[in-house]
Amino acid sequence: MAGTLYLCATPIGNLQDMTLRVLHILKQVDVIAAEDTRNTLKLLNHYEIKTPMTSYHEHNKAQKGPQLVQRLQNGENIALVTDAGMPGISDPGADLLRLCQEAGVHVTVAPGASAGVTALVLSGLDTRRFVFEGFLPADKKERRAVLQTLEKEHRTMIFYEAPHRLLDTLTELEAVFGGERQMAAIRELTKKFEEVRRGTASELREYFTAQQAKGEFVLVYAGYTLAEQKQAEQESWEQVSIEAHMAQYTEKGMSEKDAMKQVAKDRGVSKREIYAYLKG
C-alpha cells in the first residue's frame, strides 16, 4: 500500500507553538522532507526527534518531487515541513501536493501556525473578508502591475515582504492605494521582539527609514472602502459638465426631474443646487 504525505505546520517563531499531533507525526514517519534541513534540525533537536530528513525546496523540486512520490508509492510515510508555518503557502509544497494527487497518493494536513492569519488578527484591521497575496514580485514594474490589479480590492490585503525591500514596497503601496488608508507592518511574529506598527504607508515608511527594518514582515493593508469609491466617482463626475451629465440620463429616457435627482446623487450635492444651476 502507498504511504501518506503529511503537510505539517511548524512554529513561525516561538517553538512552543508546535502541536502535539505534528510532534507525533514527525516521530512516526519514515522521513521528513524539509525546505531547509539546517533550520528544521534545530526544531527536531529541541523536541528530541531523530527521524531522518531530506531536502525539498524551490531549487530541487523538479528532481526531488518525483523521487518523494516514488517513495510514497513504495509505502513510506513522509512529513513535509517548511521553514515556518504551513507548507504549501508561498513555498513549493503546493507542487508536491499536486504530484501526489496526480499519482493517487493520499495527502493530509496537520494544521498549525500561519503567519498571514496571525498577522491579520494582530493588525486590528477588518478580518471579516481578506485576500492573501504573499510575496510581491521583486521587479518594480511587475510589482506595480500586481498592485494595480488590487487598487479597488475591498477586502483586507495580506502581503509578505523581506526587510531589504520593505521601503520600496511601502512606497508602491502608497502610490497605488493612496495615502489615507490604514495598514500594519508586523515583524518577528511570536518571537521576543515581535513588533506591530500601525499607520499609513507614508508614516510607516518614515518610521522604517529612521529605524532599520529587521526580520521578515507581514504587511496588512485596509481594503478599498465604499467611501473611497463614492469619492472617486464624485471626482470623476466633476470632470463632466452638469449639462453633459444630465444628457447621459435624459437620452436614456429618464425624466428631467429624475435625471436631476440622479445627477445630484452622483455629485454628492443637493437636487436644489443642480436645479439652481440649470435654471439660473
What string of DSSP letters covers 40-87?
A: HHHHHHHTT----EEE--TTTHHHHHHHHHHHHHTT--EEEE-SSB-T
Residue 167 has pLDDT above 80, yes or no: yes
Q: Which three cell numbers stand for residue 239?
A: 470632470
Q: Taking CA 131 as the corner, what is the angle to CA 125 and CA 134, rounded to the nearest 5 degrees?
A: 105
Q: Output the pLDDT for position 280.
A: 67
* Cβ neighbours of residue 230 closer than 8 Å, sequence gap 6 or more: 268
Q: What is the pLDDT of residues 30-50, one digit of tens each?
A: 999 999 999 999 999 999 999
Q: How confident is the model at residue 263 (pLDDT cuts 50, 70, 90)?
A: confident
| pTM exceeds 0.75 | yes
Percent of the chain with pLDDT over 70: 96
Specify the range with the lowest mean pLDDT, choosing from 66-75, 224-233, 265-274: 224-233
Are the CB atoms for 163 and 209 separated by under 8 Å?
A: no
> Rounded distance, CA 252 to CA 84, Å?
58
Specify the range with the lowest mean pLDDT, choosing from 3-12, 90-99, 155-164, 270-279: 270-279
Q: Which three cell numbers stand for residue 262?
A: 440622479
Helix (H) or strand (E) holding 161: strand 156-161
Are the CB atoms for 25 and 6 separated by under 8 Å?
A: yes
Q: What is the pLDDT of residues 50-64, one digit of tens each?
A: 999 999 999 999 999
Cα 52 to chain center, whole Å?
33
